[in-house]
């Protein structure tokens, strides 16, 4: 009996001893496509190597709308995960609720201020304190193309302007392929919309209309032209598009069923996972008219306040790992994005990533580096959600005139 209780005490001590160094991290994210799952597995591996256990909390649904709904209900019911993928202005809203942990101890020890572009560091901070760890920089204004399809359709080069694009898309259609691989979900409609606005109006107009939400810009002739162009793009989408996941749209380009897709460079994660080589099997080009601009989308993880010391240690290790060189390299190689950490060696990255890195720096200098509205970087979630709905309604219903589409979007932009 005595022996048994001694054993119990020993086991209890052992467990307590381990708990002081190893904890569990439950991580909410929406990375469920092939390329995404491969990328997040790297983070899990790093955490496990540090002795922590990883509880995966994946909520399917590109763009993260579903994940954010689930997150809200978990937090409201007092059962927040240790960490969650939260981005842009939404971080400020969560921090204002007082539920996020202050990551300054890790950020100071690891010198994040010196390792991050200011534009990114500012997004990660609430009242001067770090409340999220950034993972990557995605470029949203990409157009993906299949060169074999273009060749068969007699299109010599990836189009650089919208008129060139429509001329190419006509040839592709004639040759019997789908011109634009599109997943008909609100956030994908919105993603295409923002690239069209950027291409038609330029970075300054994009900023006025979709970052400042300036009513004059939102109701201008340039917005009318943007919506006309956006509607025209819809004419090149196949009938099976509604509801389709983004990665299935990418698969259409990979499998030579479609010529183009407008999507951020997480699409590259799918090409990479399929063993495809940029420049040979697929083309990455800026969406028409957006060559010198860059809409950025930075994924980040916020940590929720937890009481348990082991859990806090696991959170700190997670934050530190995310900003570490090994993770920044391997994750971004898989994900299609570029490292958010400055001065990383880009040797192992492909030409699309190098192009993105170059365009990021050049556009920052030129004043054409803009936050993506479709990916929660530009305006608070309420306004972004309302505009997204108006954009999707317009996309899906030809009976809504361009004039009414403009009005509806401008009205949605007033949502607070
Ligand atoms: C996220 C990406 C993700 C994509 C599709 C975006 O909003 O930033 O990390 O791959 O949605 O799910």
3-state secondary structure of 413: coil
User: Which of 63, 87, 142, 301 to mutate for ligand 1's pocket (most ligand atoms within 8 Å of CB)?
Assistant: 63
Q: Examine the pLDDT at 3 and tell me if it is beyond 70.
A: no
292 and 334 inside one domain: no
Can you spell out the DSSP letters for 87-145? -HHHHHHHHHTT-BPP-HHHHHHTTHHHHS-HHHHHHHEETTEE-EEE-EEEE--EEEE
Report CA(64)–ligand 1 centroid distance (Å): 7
CA neighbor of 287 nearest in space, from 131, 165, 397: 165
pLDDT band at 22 (very low <50, low <70, confident <90, very high): confident
Report CA(15)–ligand 1 centroid distance (Å): 38
Cα–Cα distance for residue pair 195/201, rounded to 1 Å = 10
pLDDT, tens only, 276-326: 999 999 999 999 999 999 999 999 999 999 999 999 999 999 999 999 999
Q: Examine the pLDDT at 1 and tell me if it is beyond 70.
A: no
pLDDT, tens only, 136-192: 999 999 999 999 999 999 999 999 999 999 999 999 999 999 999 999 999 999 999
Here the CATH number for the domain that contains residue 132 is 3.40.190.10
For residue 266 and ligand 1, the question of a CB distance below 6 A is answered with yes
Q: Examine the pLDDT at 41 and tell me if it is beyond 90.
A: yes
CA neighbor of 301 nearest in space, from 27, 38, 114: 27
Q: Which atom of ligand 1 is nearest to the CA of 62?
A: 12
Mean of pLDDT values over 61-71: 97
pTM higher than 0.85: yes
Report how far apart, in Å, the C-alpha atoms of 189 and of each of 73, 204, 342 are: 26, 22, 32
Comparing 210 with 16, the larger pLDDT belongs to 210
Cα–Cα distance for residue pair 203/221, rounded to 1 Å = 16
Name the residue at shortest CA distance from atom 1 of ligand 1: 63
Report how far apart, in Å, the C-alpha atoms of 9 and of each of 1, 22, 216, 309 are: 12, 20, 72, 21
Cα–Cα distance for residue pair 410/223, rounded to 1 Å = 10
Q: Across all residues in the chain, what is the average pLDDT?
A: 95
Question: Total structural domains in the chain?
Answer: 2
Report how far apart, in Å, the C-alpha atoms of 395 and of each of 62, 71, 287, 412 are: 18, 29, 18, 15
CB hemisphere CA count around 289 (13 angstroms): 20
Cβ–Cβ under 8 Å, residues 75 and 104:
no
pLDDT at 14: 42
322 and 237 inside one domain: no
pLDDT, tens only, 337-372: 999 999 999 999 999 999 999 999 999 999 999 999
Percentage of residues of the chain with pLDDT beyond 70: 95
The domain of 19 spans 5-138+298-363
129 and 146 inside one domain: no
| Interior/surface letters 291-322, b for 16+ CB within 10 angstroms, e for the rest | bebbbbbbbbbbbbebeeebbbbbbbbbbbbb
Report how far apart, in Å, the C-alpha atoms of 187 and of each of 18, 47, 133, 191, 204 are: 43, 31, 24, 6, 23
Q: Examine the pLDDT at 334 and tell me if it is beyond 70.
A: yes
Q: Which atom of ligand 1 is nearest to the CA of 335?
A: 10
Mean of pLDDT values over 255-264: 98
26 and 120 inside one domain: yes
54 and 104 inside one domain: yes
Q: Examine the pLDDT at 336 and tell me if it is beyond 60.
A: yes
Can you spell out the DSSP letters for 240-294? T-BT--HHHHHHHHHTTSEEEEE--TTHHHHHHHTT--BTTTBEEEEPTT-TT-E
Positive or negative CA dihedral for 374, 375, 380, 386?
positive
278 and 383 inside one domain: yes
116 and 45 inside one domain: yes
Report CA(319)–ligand 1 centroid distance (Å): 19
19 and 95 inside one domain: yes
114 and 261 inside one domain: no
CA neighbor of 318 nearest in space, from 129, 81, 50, 122: 50
pLDDT, tens only, 50-63: 999 999 999 999 99
pLDDT at 231: 98
84 and 100 inside one domain: yes
Cα–Cα distance for residue pair 120/207, rounded to 1 Å = 17
pLDDT, tens only, 111-140: 999 999 999 999 999 999 999 999 999 999
Mean of pLDDT values over 76-83: 96
pLDDT at 6: 45
Cα–Cα distance for residue pair 250/246, rounded to 1 Å = 6
158 and 280 inside one domain: yes
Comparing 287 with 10, the larger pLDDT belongs to 287
Name the residue at shortest CA distance from atom 6 of ligand 1: 63
pLDDT at 21: 62
210 and 148 inside one domain: yes
Torsion from C-alpha of 264, 270, 272, 278, nearest 10 degrees: -50
């Amino acid at each position: 009996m005595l022996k048994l209780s001694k054993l119990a005490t020993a086991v209890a001590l052992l467990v307590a001893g381990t708990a002081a160094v190893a904890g569990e991290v439950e991580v909410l994210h929406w990375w469920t496509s092939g390329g995404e799952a491969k990328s997040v597995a790297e983070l899990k591996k790093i955490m496990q190597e540090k002795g922590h256990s990883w509880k995966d909390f994946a909520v399917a649904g590109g763009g993260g709308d579903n994940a954010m709904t689930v997150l809200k209900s978990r937090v409201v019911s007092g059962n927040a995960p240790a960490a969650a993928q939260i981005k842009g202005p939404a971080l400020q809203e969560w921090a204002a609720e007082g539920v996020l942990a202050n990551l300054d101890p890790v950020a100071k020890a690891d010198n994040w201020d010196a390792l991050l572009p200011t534009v990114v560091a500012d997004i990660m901070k609430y009242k001067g304190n770090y409340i999220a760890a950034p993972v990557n920089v995605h470029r949203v204004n990409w157009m993906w193309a299949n060169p074999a399809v273009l060749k068969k359709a007699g299109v010599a080069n990836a189009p650089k302007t919208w008129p060139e694009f429509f001329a190419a898309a006509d040839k592709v259609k004639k040759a019997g392929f789908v011109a634009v691989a599109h997943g008909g979900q609100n956030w994908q409609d919105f993603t295409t919309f923002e690239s069209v606005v950027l291409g038609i109006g330029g970075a300054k107009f994009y900023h006025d209309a979709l970052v400042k939400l300036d009513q004059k810009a939102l109701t201008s002739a340039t917005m009318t032209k943007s919506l006309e162009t956006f509607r025209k793009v819809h004419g090149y989408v196949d009938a099976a598009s509604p509801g389709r996941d983004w990665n299935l749209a990418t698969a259409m380009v990979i499998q030579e069923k479609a010529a183009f897709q407008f999507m951020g460079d997480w699409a590259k994660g799918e090409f990479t996972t399929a063993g495809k080589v940029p420049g040979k099997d697929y083309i990455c080009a800026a969406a028409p008219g957006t060559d010198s601009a860059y809409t950025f989308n930075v994924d980040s993880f916020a940590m929720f306040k937890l009481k348990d010391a082991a859990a806090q240690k696991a959170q700190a290790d997670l934050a530190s790992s995310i900003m570490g060189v090994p993770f920044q390299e391997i994750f971004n190689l898989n994900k299609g994005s570029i490292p958010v950490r400055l001065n990383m060696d880009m040797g192992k990255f492909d030409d699309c990533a190098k192009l993105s890195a170059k365009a990021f720096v050049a556009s920052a200098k030129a004043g054409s580096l803009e936050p993506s509205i479709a990916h929660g970087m530009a305006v608070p979630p309420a306004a972004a959600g309302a505009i997204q709905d108006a954009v999707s309604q317009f996309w899906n219903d030809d009976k809504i005139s361009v004039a009414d589409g403009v009005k509806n979007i401008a009205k949605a932009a007033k949502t607070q």
